[in-house]
A and B are shown apart, each in its own frame.
Chain A
């Protein structure tokens, strides 16, 4: 493990041990190589961004980290444990939570119920427990409900909306519920897929502050896919740039912004 770590470690990486390490990840869909040999570390308690033009393979990369799709080759470890081929629910159980680019709430469930689903991995009641409903199951249900309300308050959902169906909530509140639902899984690593999509500059700035607060309050590590460069530069400690599935730059926000390869990827070659 340590030998492998020193062999692939990026000299520019922080001193903190990585909470997640993706080594030489490749994903091919038929003839298309969506992610090509990307290696990537996330230091614990950091906020790290992945950026890149549309179709650069960012979401594909995210989906591999959360087990929704399996890499063609490569290895992903979470806190030293191999999760490359683990099921998504197992990965969630081990402490990775995510939100989605196009909000994927359970529309016909209330905000509180949505967040309670997030508690699923941290609850034990099965069929027998549900039917017999012994005291520990009642206590577990009550605790899950309380925790859900707490989290919804934490992300700033108005109390009047707790029992409304998710599909009836305004867009911004749906984003909040989705983050609360992800937090309910008790993650150590939170993946946010374009959290500021559809937000105005003020809301985006608020969210950037909120992400820092999340990290500090809950000891979280945050990985972010983002298009809003202001947010990325403002909040990230490290930025990784993907283009055509390959990593073209990595480092501190200011350095990445000045990188000629990045400018070319976004704006095209000069002349």
Chain B
């Protein structure tokens, strides 16, 4: 079953391996052109475009979690914390929420007259990345001496702590009648990004939003690919494979692991900041434990450790969650006479998909070459040796 399913991917890979090196650049350029043209192909608005934008943001988060879980092998069950911190970055620094403050940096004329802190979205992105990287280090430090399941429990607790703070932040006064968060009421009327002379962001036209997240996704993929194929990427994999051997080969354990946490968290923050400004609100109820599992499912379904797998997993679950279930199939049960909508059972659907993936294709949709080895290569390698022996004798 596995062999049959993996054949097309393997064939593509062989094909790609036989092509000249410039081919990958041509492919990348084509991908960028097609990607940039997507809004014209599907119209600037509508449910599909909305789902595409959210799916791209999920793909960025999936890429971030993939660094921690897939490449460095540190099971993180609290990744939603970084989504939350990223979203709150835009809630705090790009809305009227801190009404007593008057800070305006590079924002449009209308926003300049509003109370609160209003920074340009690019600055907020940087702030979100830095805040989350710092939070990643904070969560990373206590887990340094732990392995496997124990890391999962500590990170899970961290995710819950951030969620509880987000919910109860509305009771935490920070002076001047202002509170830390708006809890389940949500911080709303978050500013739109402001790029004068480039594009105009509005609620009616989704094209600029799409291009923004498309560029963010491209940068995320690029950074991930470069980091993977580097001294740092090798160090992460080495630590995942054998920590004792890795440190004995001169890899500094603390710095290398913390860098994985920080970098993974930064992508979560960037994506969270984007989703905050895109949905124009930051609500604590978005940051529940289930979302951590949702992102982890993207990474696993895509293929642990695989960068293109993480992107694919993010897109697949993003589309299923925001388009296929709510827009296309939502009323399917009623046409069979059942009295529920598919959106009510979406977690059941994701769980089912996860189980199906584990049974049919445990290495994920686009497996990383190393993981493919772990799951499938052991027996074929033995077979190959047995098959070769008669030749050697002859």
Q: How far is the CA of A66 from the CA of B227 in the complex (A)?
A: 29
Cross-chain contact B245 with A100 (CB below 8 angstroms): yes
Q: How far is the CA of A126 from the CA of B373 in the complex (A)?
A: 28
A120-175 contacts to B (CB < 8 Å): 120-123, 125-127, 129-131, 133, 137, 140-141, 144, 165, 167-168
Cross-chain contact A108 with B371 (CB below 8 angstroms): yes
A47-94 contacts to B (CB < 8 Å): 66, 68, 87-89, 92-93
Instruction: Mark each residue of chain A from 98 to 120: 1 if its CB lies under 8 Å from any CB of chain B, else 0.
Output: 10100011111100010011101
Instruction: Give every chain A residue within 8 A of B226 (Cβ-Cβ).
Output: 130-131, 133
Indicate if B381 sits at the interface (CB-CB under 8 A): yes
Indicate if A181 sits at the interface (CB-CB under 8 A): yes
Instruction: Give every chain B residue within 8 A of A105 (Cβ-Cβ).
Output: 242, 245
Q: How far is the CA of A130 from the CA of B259 in the complex (A)?
A: 13
- Interface of B, secondary structure class, is helix
Q: How far is the CA of A66 from the CA of B247 in the complex (A)?
A: 10
Indicate if A185 sits at the interface (CB-CB under 8 A): yes
The chain A residue sitting closest to B263, CB to CB, is: A127
The chain B residue sitting closest to A164, CB to CB, is: B381
Instruction: Determine how close the nearest CB of chain A comes to the CB of B338; give it in whole angstroms.
Output: 46
Cross-chain contact A165 with B373 (CB below 8 angstroms): yes
Cross-chain contact A121 with B374 (CB below 8 angstroms): no
Indicate if B189 sits at the interface (CB-CB under 8 A): no
Indicate if B147 sits at the interface (CB-CB under 8 A): no
Instruction: Determine how close the nearest CB of chain B comes to the CB of A245; give it in whole angstroms.
Output: 22
Cross-chain contact B238 with A109 (CB below 8 angstroms): yes
Q: How far is the CA of A182 from the CA of B249 in the complex (A)?
A: 7
Instruction: Determine how close the nearest CB of chain B comes to the CB of A145; give it in whole angstroms.
Output: 11
Instruction: Mark each residue of chain B from 223 to 255: 1 if its CB lies under 8 Å from any CB of chain A, else 0.
Output: 100110011111101100110111111111100
Q: Which of B222, B230, B263 has the most CB of A within 10 A?
A: B230
Instruction: Give every chain B residue within 8 A of A165 (Cβ-Cβ).
Output: 370, 373, 377
Q: How far is the CA of A167 from the CA of B377 in the complex (A)?
A: 10
Given contacts A104-B242, A108-B241, A109-B241, contact A117 B248 (CB under 8 A): no
Q: How far is the CA of A26 from the CA of B253 in the complex (A)?
A: 26
Q: How far is the CA of A130 from the CA of B241 in the complex (A)?
A: 21
Instruction: Give every chain A residue within 8 A of B227 (Cβ-Cβ).
Output: 127, 130-131
Instruction: Determine how close the nearest CB of chain B comes to the CB of A185; give it in whole angstroms.
Output: 6
Cross-chain contact A120 with B374 (CB below 8 angstroms): no
Instruction: Give every chain B residue within 8 A of A116 (Cβ-Cβ).
Output: 234
Q: How far is the CA of A98 from the CA of B249 in the complex (A)?
A: 8
Q: How far is the CA of A127 from the CA of B227 in the complex (A)?
A: 7
Tally of chain B residues near chain A (CB < 8 A) = 32
Instruction: Determine how close the nearest CB of chain B comes to the CB of A55; give it in whole angstroms.
Output: 20
Q: How far is the CA of A66 from the CA of B246 in the complex (A)?
A: 12
Across the interface, B248 reaches (CB within 8 A) one of A88, A108, A122, A168, namely: A88
Cross-chain contact A123 with B231 (CB below 8 angstroms): yes
Instruction: Give every chain B residue within 8 A of A120 (Cβ-Cβ).
Output: 231, 234-235, 238, 249-251
Cross-chain contact A131 with B241 (CB below 8 angstroms): no
Instruction: Determine how close the nearest CB of chain A comes to the CB of B102; give it in whole angstroms.
Output: 36
Q: How far is the CA of A105 from the CA of B248 in the complex (A)?
A: 11
Q: How far is the CA of A181 from the CA of B241 in the complex (A)?
A: 15
Cross-chain contact A167 with B373 (CB below 8 angstroms): yes
Given contacts A130-B230, A141-B230, contact A68 B244 (CB under 8 A): yes
Instruction: Determine how close the nearest CB of chain A comes to the CB of B50; give it in whole angstroms.
Output: 31
Cross-chain contact A117 with B246 (CB below 8 angstroms): yes
Q: How far is the CA of A100 from the CA of B248 in the complex (A)?
A: 10
Instruction: Give every chain A residue within 8 A of B232 (Cβ-Cβ).
Output: 125-127, 130
Across the interface, A185 reaches (CB within 8 A) one of B231, B233, B249, B373, namely: B249
The chain A residue sitting closest to B372, CB to CB, is: A108
Instruction: Give every chain A residue within 8 A of B246 (Cβ-Cβ).
Output: 106, 117
Given contacts A109-B238, A116-B234, A131-B223, contact A104 B247 (CB under 8 A): no
Given contacts A108-B371, A117-B235, A168-B381, contact A185 B241 (CB under 8 A): no
Q: How far is the CA of A203 from the CA of B381 in the complex (A)?
A: 25
Q: Which of A106, A133, A144 has the most CB of B within 10 A?
A: A106
Instruction: Determine how close the nearest CB of chain A comes to the CB of B267; give it in whole angstroms.
Output: 13
The chain A residue sitting closest to B234, CB to CB, is: A117
Cross-chain contact B370 with A109 (CB below 8 angstroms): yes
Instruction: Determine how close the nearest CB of chain A comes to the CB of B61; give it in whole angstroms.
Output: 19
Q: How far is the CA of A131 from the CA of B266 in the complex (A)?
A: 15
Known: A117-B234, A117-B235. 18 other contacts (CB 8 A): A68-B248, A89-B248, A92-B247, A104-B244, A105-B242, A106-B245, A108-B237, A108-B370, A108-B374, A109-B237, A109-B241, A117-B249, A117-B251, A120-B231, A126-B232, A130-B231, A130-B232, A141-B230
Q: Can you list 6 contacts pairing A with B, beta carbon distance less than 8 Å?
A: A109-B234, A129-B231, A131-B227, A133-B230, A167-B373, A182-B249
The 7 closest A-B pairs by CB, nearest first: A121-B250, A130-B230, A108-B370, A92-B250, A106-B241, A104-B245, A88-B247
